[in-house]
Structure 1
Amino acid sequence: MVPHPTTRCSSSPHGRRVSRARTFLPRHDDVPPSGDAADRARTGRAAPPRPDPPSKPAAAKIARPVPLRESVFEALLELIISGSLRPGRHLAESELAEMLGVSRQPIREALQLLSGEGWVDLFPGHGAFVHALTAKEADQLLAVRTLLEAEAARLAARNHTEEEPAQPPPSRRRRRRAPASFGS
């Protein structure tokens, strides 16, 4: 083994050589041979067979727990989407914390996340409110939906084959019918 080369120490007043680390680097001729022949030469018998390298794990990775703020975010988003929290409703942190059984801090963090995605409006000094669509936003959403549906219809017509039914499945036809009370 050869000691690591020393380096000049810039902080030394005379620039003396000072060894900064006591590590040793192996030289090529210092490395012992390895393998069955080397084992037989050293011990007089063959080394036991080495185990195969581990293959891919049989079990899936363990899921990490989701941070509480993300769980609260998902719960509040579900309440907004389902209509349990109506547009324009004031979201009091203490009410939400009691409803979900958590402290107010994850509620605050979830409201910040919801505000960043446009689901909640935050007004300093007034609190958080479920976002209510304006007429302009509704027009923009309708325009995007119209474009998406037109593109979907174009792609469906282009990829249509004779084997596929010409009409949508019955479950979709039922959803598109107007209620019996509509128009009466």
Structure 2
Amino acid sequence: MKFEASFVKKVVSQSGEFISLLTRMVSRHHHHHRHRRRHHHHHHRRGREHKCDDIKWRSSLSTSSLIYQYKVSLVLTVDLEGCGNFSSAQKAIDAVPDSSPSKTLIIIYSGTYREKVVVHVNKSNLIIQGEGFLNTVIEWNDTANSTGGTVYSSSVAIFASNFTAYNISFK
């Protein structure tokens, strides 16, 4: 039981705003049921804030085992809709501490990211987690006829050591 409690505490502290998100969800639920007679339709409007809350909730549940397994010290998020720390995978990779001895996890939410991505040699110990290889895609349309030929036509180039990717496609 003590091990489980320390594991949960570590996951919660490293995965961001889990507790505040849970608190907001409970208070919304409580607010809705307390004011049942004066029913207004304001809660049916799904704004960006609610969408972002849903994404944070989903990611904290799906990545907690990676955080624990790899002893991740930094978690960054990427989302095309603006719900992450970054809207581009490359910008998140650029934000990874140089030559870090500890692991960094970048969660890339569903979407097709049309960008060329380079993981330079100084961005070691990096884990990229998508939301399924059919849902999270990084693609770039260079070909062998592009500047630099075949060698420079890849969508994703990885020069760093200890790179791991899960549930994502590179096209």
TM-score where L is the length of structure 1: 0.21
TM-score where L is the length of structure 2: 0.22
Q: Which has the larger radius of gyration?
A: 1
Structure with more of its chain in helix, by fraction:
1
Structure with more of its chain in strand, by fraction:
2
